[in-house]
Amino acid sequence: MPLTIASLNINSVRARPHIVEQLVAARPVDILCLQETKCADAEFPRALFERLGLRHLHLHGQRMHHGVAIASRVPLAPVARHDWQANGEARHIAVRLQSGIVLHNVYVPAGGDIPDREANPKFGQKLDFLARMTDWSGASTEPAILVGDLNIAPLPEDVWDHRALLDVVSHTPVEVEALGHLQASHGWCDLGRRFVPPPQRLYSWWSYRARDWDASDRGRRLDHIWCSPALVDSSRSVETLRAARGWPKPSDHVPLIATFDL
DNA sequence: ATGGTCGAAAGTCGA
């Protein structure tokens, strides 16, 4: 039996129950990893997930901003809630699958608009978040899967216009380098690109501000599914569910769906 | 160079 893991920046879980329902109706999701749930754990819409069979909930939320959650058909064991900025923001939750594999669900800070540490502290915080994750990841040897909104589109084919976005936060060389260090620290395999290699374009986010997101197609690949080297041969597929961007009241991100034989 | 759109929250900010 394949195991299906989906990851989605839902941009408020309370505002978008219909997106969760449509996703689960469209694909056989076993474990759903959400980012930007934007609610405290006490406000989390538990009944929605229980009704959909995703009754094992592991929450790391906060009021208003950020927040990550894992909803699963299969039991999971809690592992950690990391705070790489030591500022209380809820951005990283980890659980253990019955097979022993650890699943990390991460929401990397967006980093503000100006790609300069001095002019924009949020940009420095994003780079520091990645550096602290890199230290942790380099020391970790157990087989793991890491999913989430990493808020960086690393490859030229991950954005609609590489040259135009070189100074736009999410695609600047310094961010791409930082993400590269994180990836190299553990030998993480970028499964999105294992199954959809360049020069194919692959996006997971389209701005709300576009007049016609589909026609202009000015997307970026901000969302990722990575796995440890030991798990690469167990991975079977990764799909970016582009159609979800056209669903009613969508998130600006679409789900990534990975299957593994584990 | 600007604004375009969302959500949560209050009458603005972060994305």
A148 CB closer than 7 A to any strand B atom: no
Look up the pTM and report it: 0.98
Position A1 pLDDT exceeds 90:
no
pLDDT tens digits, residue range A45-103?
A: 999 999 999 999 999 999 999 999 999 999 999 999 999 999 999 999 999 999 999 99
Distance (Å) from CA A165 to C1' B3? 18
Q: What is the C-alpha to C-alpha distance for residues A219 and A163, in angstroms, rounded to an integer? A: 14
Instruction: Give chain A residues 10-69 with Cβ within 7 A of strand B.
Output: 11-12, 14-16, 36, 38-39, 63-65
Nucleotides of B under 7 A from a protein CB: 4-9, 14-15
Query: Which stretches of chain A are assigned E, i.e. beta strand?
Result: 3-9, 31-35, 56-60, 68-72, 77-82, 92-96, 102-107, 144-149, 189-190, 205-206, 219-220, 223-227, 235-240, 256-260
Percent of chain A with pLDDT over 70: 100
A125 CB closer than 7 A to any strand B atom: no
